[in-house]
Chain A
Amino acid sequence: MVRWSIAGRSGGGMRDAEFDFAPVLDSVRGIRWPARSAVRGGIPGTHTSRLRGTSAEFTEYRPYRQGDDLGRIDWKLFARTDRAYIRLSNDRAILPTTIVLDASASMAFPAGSAAKWKLASELAIGLAAVARATADPVGLCIAHEPARLQLPPRTRQSVIREMIRAVSEVEPSGSAPVSPSLLAATRVSGRVVLITDFLGDADDLQATAARAVAGSREVHAVHIVASEELDPSRETLLVADPELPDVRRPMTRDSREEYLTAFASWRDQLSHALSDAGISYNVAVPGIETADHIVRRVAAGRVTAALR
């Protein structure tokens, strides 16, 4: 059992937090994560490739056309039918996968438990482990200030351990945009998992993700929403945005209702926009679902509607 602790790190609100990735690694064992469509690439793997070649796995015959390799003609069939057919077979390929993790200040919420960041980290490690189990190269890209942290996709055994170490060494802070990290991930991976709360550069993220899908990339978005954001305290508070210092607004009984309406509407629009762009969209709420359930949902290709 692997146990990683972040105790003793510098920082304020998360100094005493301790993340244990062992349960999620145990619970995601055995989950398969097939590609949503045939993948490109020639390196043999487990995902159906767009290429049809000469592998041992027979698929179908096709009439010979001028230009086909004569060596691929099935001569025995030619002898029986007096017609030339080409023997086709499906290729299998790997699908490099990169997890893009938002480490902005809004992910360190609620202070003390940092439930959003904890769930995001567990999802990142869990999904990476699932991808790694299907022999896909996995990488990690953490959008963080002052510098982006990036692990390129690798298939070696230690990649999960390196990812855990990288996640453990990051404390969410600042307001670094996530879209550059997403763009960098789509350049090296055929599958990108975006784990964020979309409270930074949501518009740029949508545009970048949509372009990646148009470029035959597989993009999964996991929207991390804290339960405190869905149901804030009914006490009158002056709420402040950790990423926008100028935003300080009173949460009263009346404004709370308007907030709930506005927030739900925004999530609804975001869900529709991402789904329309062909992006798999899932909402993850800490405390409502465990990380392995969300991993199974993402891997199975099921999509959750925006929470009301």
Chain B
Amino acid sequence: MTLLAPGFFYAGLVVAAAIAALHLLVTRQPRAAVLPTARFVPDLPASATARTTRPSDLILLLLRMLLVLAAAAALAEPVVIPSRESLARVILVDASRTTADISQARDSAKAVYRQGDAVIVFDSSGRAIQGGVKDSLDAIGTTTRKGSLSAALISAVRAASQLREHRDSLELVIVSPLGDEEWDAATGTIRKLWPGRARIMRVVGRTDSISRTDWEIVIRAPADDPVSAAASLVGRRAAQPVRIVRDGVGTEDTRWAADSGGVVVAWPVTVRPPGAVSYTQVDTAAALISDSSVVVAPFGRRWKFPSDSVAGAIVVARWIDGEPAAIERTDGLGCSRSVAIPVATAGDLAIRPEFVELVAALTAPCDAGRAFNPLPPVAMASLAGSGGNAPRNAFRAPSDTRSPVAPWLYLLALFTAIAELFIRHRAAGPKASSPRPAPIIASDIQS
């Protein structure tokens, strides 16, 4: 057994010792005597303090010490630590859209799993599997969400904090196709939170369902449209057929996207984009953020996407205040994007590189149809790491550990406090019922 906060217990011991010492100091009234001129004596508290070798009020002393020690022990939170084994694994199983065959990932995880290991299934977030791990692994399936190694590693570190009390060292196992879309800017930094190497078990990634042919971006817009100018600068980089509609999207456009697997970008000049509602007053925003670019320019926002429009959609670009500026919805084989970004005809915004990057992001292949690209070798090496398994001390003890004994100790302290109150009142009872001082007998008189 150990104490999570031993300082409280040590403080409790000091207080208990002080209580015992105070019980060795008894306050008593001096010997009584008659003096007719007592009224000329200053009116001071009629008590004196003396030391004794035996503590006074033994029951009260024991109750008070028990009260303090129980409260201190409860605050110190005693926990029982079981005997530790040598190694535990934290297994990260990728169930994102990147994984082509989840059964392969499932079998790989089962192969390395041992009793006491932690299994975390992740896509855009990580979820630890509680109890019945093998059965739970059989039940998992791939999701349509993009995988995030950062979220998975954060969950792994958190699980390691829980396992550190039971094992001497911890091994990180990653079962994933390890696509490049799962790596973000924070992944490398988060990986460093887990010292030592990681065992990488690669499974087959999703194959590209879209032909790799480059497509021209088709734009239907007025002659002097700035978006047309920006789209022309994007060039032949589209991997899916893309149609930018600046004069209002129609059913023919959406049917085309659904049938051909293309991307229709509804980016009207004046009318309200699909799914958006108008601001009562034009709102200004200073910047716009997409995955690949940040555009700083004075935008006059006229439309916004309410929460029900955003539900189930993918936000492609956001305003600087976090409001969605462009959303994507899957539509048949393709997808449709609704863009609520007004573009001024005056100025050089349309030909600025960051705006061209924004247009490229808005005309990129649909999120569900993006091709699988393996993690670059540098990122792969960073993820695998080097050295041995991580020692238990490399992880911080979980701060939310709860002592199962603490509530009972609190209860004991409460019960002791009530008992102390009751006994103290009972001891003081006869004194309280006789406010007049005790009569002074003749033998007490100092003559």
- The answer to whether residues A235 and B31 also contact, given A111-B442, A259-B40 and a CB cut-off of 8 A, is yes
Q: Is A218 an interface residue when CB atoms closer than 8 A count as contact?
A: no
Q: Is B378 an interface residue when CB atoms closer than 8 A count as contact?
A: no
Please tell me if the beta carbons of B46 and A237 are within 8 angstroms of each other in the complex.
Answer: no
Interface residues of B in 21-44 (CB under 8 A from A): 29-44
- The answer to whether residues A238 and B40 also contact, given A111-B442, A245-B437 and a CB cut-off of 8 A, is no
Q: Is A57 an interface residue when CB atoms closer than 8 A count as contact?
A: no
Please tell me if the beta carbons of B33 and A238 are within 8 angstroms of each other in the complex.
Answer: yes
Cα–Cα distance between A228 and B37 once the two chains are bound (Å): 10
Please tell me if the beta carbons of B445 and A243 are within 8 angstroms of each other in the complex.
Answer: no
Residues of B within 8 A of A229 (CB): 35-37
Size category, B interface: 20 to 34
Taking the nearest CB of chain B, how far is it from the CB of A108, in angstroms?
9
Please tell me if the beta carbons of A250 and B30 are within 8 angstroms of each other in the complex.
Answer: yes
Size category, A interface: 35 or more
Residues of A within 8 A of B30 (CB): 236-238, 250
Taking the nearest CB of chain A, how far is it from the CB of B438, in angstroms?
9
Residues of B within 8 A of A238 (CB): 29-33, 46
Please tell me if the beta carbons of A237 and B32 are within 8 angstroms of each other in the complex.
Answer: yes
Please tell me if the beta carbons of B41 and A239 are within 8 angstroms of each other in the complex.
Answer: yes
Taking the nearest CB of chain A, how far is it from the CB of B285, in angstroms?
81
Taking the nearest CB of chain B, how far is it from the CB of A103, in angstroms?
13
In the complex, the chain B residue whose C-beta lies closest to that of A200 is B36
Residues of A within 8 A of B447 (CB): 110-113, 228
- The answer to whether residues A237 and B36 also contact, given A12-B442, A249-B42 and a CB cut-off of 8 A, is no
In-complex Cβ contact of A235 among B40, B41, B446 (8 A): B446
- The answer to whether residues A258 and B42 also contact, given A233-B446, A237-B30 and a CB cut-off of 8 A, is yes
Give a binary string over B188-212; 1 marks a CB under 8 Å from any A CB, 0 the rest. Answer: 0000000000000000000000000
Cα–Cα distance between A251 and B185 once the two chains are bound (Å): 83
Q: Is A242 an interface residue when CB atoms closer than 8 A count as contact?
A: yes
Please tell me if the beta carbons of B41 and A250 are within 8 angstroms of each other in the complex.
Answer: yes
Cα–Cα distance between A244 and B36 once the two chains are bound (Å): 9
In-complex Cβ contact of B35 among A241, A246, A262 (8 A): A241
Taking the nearest CB of chain A, how far is it from the CB of B179, in angstroms?
89
Cα–Cα distance between A113 and B34 once the two chains are bound (Å): 13
Give a binary string over B32-75; 1 marks a CB under 8 Å from any A CB, 0 the rest. Answer: 11111111111111111000000000000000000000000000
Cα–Cα distance between A13 and B46 once the two chains are bound (Å): 26
Residues of A within 8 A of B36 (CB): 105-106, 109, 197, 199, 226, 229, 241-243
Residues of B within 8 A of A266 (CB): 40
Q: Is A248 an interface residue when CB atoms closer than 8 A count as contact?
A: yes
Q: Is A7 an interface residue when CB atoms closer than 8 A count as contact?
A: no
25 contacts between A and B (CB under 8 A): A109-B36, A110-B445, A111-B442, A113-B447, A199-B39, A235-B446, A237-B30, A237-B31, A237-B32, A237-B446, A238-B31, A238-B33, A240-B32, A240-B38, A240-B440, A241-B35, A241-B39, A243-B36, A244-B38, A246-B436, A247-B39, A250-B29, A251-B38, A252-B44, A258-B42
Closest 8 CB pairs of A and B: A106-B36, A239-B35, A110-B447, A249-B41, A262-B40, A241-B38, A239-B38, A237-B33
